[in-house]
């Protein structure tokens, strides 16, 4: 057998012979949720002591195990491990560098049990913490998709279409705080208040939209109609 084929054969055998299960200490150490980006997480969990991931909505991703703490995730096309960062003593999910001599980057920090992303706070109707989280993201990166005006507006209208008017109002109020110079966010908030039956707040927000852009036709039509009454 030629050397390169022998090496490949032994490599495949070594993978197949590696146990897929993990010990209790490792499971306790790494199970949890890791901050993938500003508003998404990677969930690490175990079934029958086999490591699984949930990432970007894909559940039960089963990485290939190389050794006790190293795995290959084909969905990411990345080799991962878990390490404690000496700077903050926190656990991290680490993408192993492609080059052997490259420095390791501590990529994704493990979240505390009571720590959530802004969108998770939003889903759980914790609007105060959701707003604080979104403001923090915006301060670091104003172009981050998580605080995009149109994306947030779409979430508000999603709730409006489901007749969840109070949720829509809360979402659109957050959008108004994040984008106070946009007539569109106040126009949308006015619409949500109208649908909830709160005409006074609806008119107030339409007037805010007009103050930003006097050419906002819908806001002008609504305000003019009620001012004539």
The mean per-residue pLDDT over the stretch 182-206 comes to 95
- Give residue 199's pLDDT: 92
Give me the chain's average pLDDT, please: 90
**C-alpha to C-alpha distance for 148 and 40, rounded to whole angstroms:** 15
Count of CB atoms situated within 10 Å of the CB of 166: 11
Note the Cα 85 to chain centre separation in Å. Answer: 23
The mean per-residue pLDDT over the stretch 68-90 comes to 94
- Give residue 217's pLDDT: 87
**C-alpha to C-alpha distance for 229 and 214, rounded to whole angstroms:** 21
Helix 127-140 with 165-178: angle, nearest 10 deg:
30
Higher-confidence position of 178 and 224? 178
| Residue 130 Ramachandran class (φ > 0 left, ψ -120 to 50 alpha, else beta) | alpha
Statement: residue 10 has pLDDT above 50? no
Tokens for 142, please give them: 């104003």
The band of 33, judged by pLDDT with boundaries at 50, 70 and 90, is: very high
Instruction: Give how far Cα 163 sits from Cα of 6, 169, 220, Å.
Output: 65, 11, 25
The band of 83, judged by pLDDT with boundaries at 50, 70 and 90, is: very high
The band of 101, judged by pLDDT with boundaries at 50, 70 and 90, is: confident
Q: Is 44 helix (H, G, I), strand (E, B) or coil?
A: strand
Statement: residue 137 has pLDDT above 90? yes
Statement: residue 1 has pLDDT above 70? no
- Give residue 125's pLDDT: 94
Long-range contacts of 183-190 (CB under 8 A, 24+ apart): 183/208, 183/209, 183/210, 183/212, 183/213, 183/216, 183/219, 184/149, 184/153, 184/209, 185/149, 185/153, 186/212, 186/219, 187/216, 187/218, 187/219, 188/153, 188/156, 188/157, 189/156, 190/219, 190/222
Of 224, 157, 162, nearest to 184 (Cα)? 157
The mean per-residue pLDDT over the stretch 116-135 comes to 96
- Give residue 102's pLDDT: 84
Statement: residue 187 has pLDDT above 90? yes
The mean per-residue pLDDT over the stretch 112-122 comes to 94
Least confident piece of the model among 41-55, 143-157, 214-228: 214-228
- Give residue 167's pLDDT: 97
The mean per-residue pLDDT over the stretch 122-130 comes to 95
């Amino acid at each position: 057998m030629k050397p390169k084929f022998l090496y490949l054969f032994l490599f495949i055998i070594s993978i197949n012979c590696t146990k897929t299960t993990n010990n209790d200490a490792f499971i306790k150490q790494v199970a949890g949720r890791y901050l993938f980006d500003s508003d998404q997480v990677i969930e690490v969990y175990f079934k029958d002591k086999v490591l699984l991931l949930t990432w970007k909505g894909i559940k039960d991703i089963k990485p290939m195990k190389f050794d006790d703490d190293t795995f290959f995730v084909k969905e990411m096309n990345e080799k991962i491990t878990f390490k404690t960062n000496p700077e903050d003593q926190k656990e991290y999910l680490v993408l192993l560098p492609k080059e052997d001599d490259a420095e390791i980057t501590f990529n994704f920090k493990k979240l505390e049990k009571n720590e959530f992303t802004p969108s998770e706070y939003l889903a759980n109707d914790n609007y105060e913490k959701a707003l604080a989280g979104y403001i923090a993201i915006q301060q670091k990166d104003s172009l981050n998709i998580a605080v995009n005006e149109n994306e947030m507006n779409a979430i508000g209208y999603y709730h409006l279409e489901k007749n969840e008017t109070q949720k829509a109002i809360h979402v659109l109020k957050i959008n108004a705080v994040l984008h106070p110079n946009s007539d569109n966010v106040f126009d949308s908030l006015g619409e949500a208040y109208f649908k909830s039956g709160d005409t006074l707040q609806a008119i107030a927000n339409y007037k805010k939209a007009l103050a930003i852009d006097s050419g906002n036709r819908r806001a002008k039509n609504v305000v003019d109609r009620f001012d004539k009454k």
